[in-house]
Structure 1
Amino acid sequence: MHVMPEKIIIADDHPLFRQALLIALKEQFNTTQWLEAETVESISECLAQNVDADLLLLDLNIPGAHGFDHLIRIRKQYPDIPVVVISAYSDETIIAKAMQHGASGFVPKSESVPTIITAITQVLSGQLWVPGTFEKVQEEVSHVADEAIAKLTVQEYRILMMFSEGLLNKQIGDKLCVAEATVKAHASAIFRKLNVRNRTQAAMMLGQLDVADYSENLKD
Structure 2
Amino acid sequence: MTPRFLIADDHPLVRAALSETLRRRWPEAELLEAADFDSVMARLAPADPLASDPEVDLVLLDLTMPGSNGLMGLMLLRAHAPTVPVAVVSAQEDAETVRRARAFGAAAFIPKSASVETIQEAIAAILRGDLVAPETAAPADADDHDLYRRLATLSPQQLRVLAMIGEGKLNKQICFELGIAEQTVKAHASQIFRKLGVVSRTQAALVMNRLTPSGL
TM class, shorter-chain normalised?
Answer: 0.5 to 0.7
Separation of aligned partners in 2, 1:56 and 1:15: 16
* Aligned match for 2:83, one of 77, 80, 85: 80
Q: CA deviation at 1:65?
A: 1.7
Question: Paired residue for 1:52, among 35, 50, 55?
Answer: 55
Say whether the 8 Å CA contact 2:75–2:104 is kept in structure 1.
Answer: yes
Output the CA distance in 2 between the equivalents of 1:101 and 1:121.
21
TM-score of the superposed pair, with normalisation by structure 1: 0.58
Query: Aligned residue pairs: how many?
Result: 135
Q: Does 1:131 align with 2:134?
A: yes
Among candidates 44, 62, 65, match of residue 62 of structure 1 = 65
> TM-score, length-normalised on structure 2?
0.59
Q: Percent identity?
A: 40
CA contact (8 A) 2:21 2:120 kept: no
Is the contact between residue 5 and residue 54 of structure 1 (CA under 8 Å) also seen in structure 2?
Answer: no
Asked if 1:113 is matched to 2:136, the reply is no
Match of 1:16 in 2: 13
Shift of 1:52: 2.3
Are 2:8 and 2:60, in contact at CA under 8 Å, matched by a contact in 1?
yes
Q: 5+ residue gaps in structure 1?
A: 141-220
* Residue 20 of structure 1: how far off its partner (Å): 1.5
Q: 1:137: Cα distance to partner?
A: 2.9
Check the 8 A contact 1:10/1:18 in 2, yes or no: yes
Query: Please, which runs of 5 or more residues in structure 2 have no aligned partner?
Result: 48-53, 142-216
**In 1, distance between residues paired with 2:125 and 2:79?**
22
* Aligned alpha-carbon RMSD (Å): 1.8
CA distance in 2 between partners of 1:21 and 1:72 (Å): 23
Q: Is the 8 A contact 1:56 1:82 kept in 2?
A: yes
Q: How does 1:1-220 map to 2 (within 5 A)?
A: 5-49=2-46, 51-134=54-137, 137=139
Higher helix share: 1
Task: Check whether the contact 2:58–2:86 (CA below 8 A) recurs between aligned residues.
Answer: yes
Which aligned segments of 4 or more residues in structure 1 are displaced greater than 3 angstroms? none
1:132 aligned counterpart, secondary structure: coil
Which amino acid in structure 1 is aligned with residue 42 of structure 2?
A: E
Instruction: State the AA in 2 paired with 1:100.
Output: A
Structure 2 counterpart of 1:215: none
SS of structure 2 residue aligned to 1:52: coil
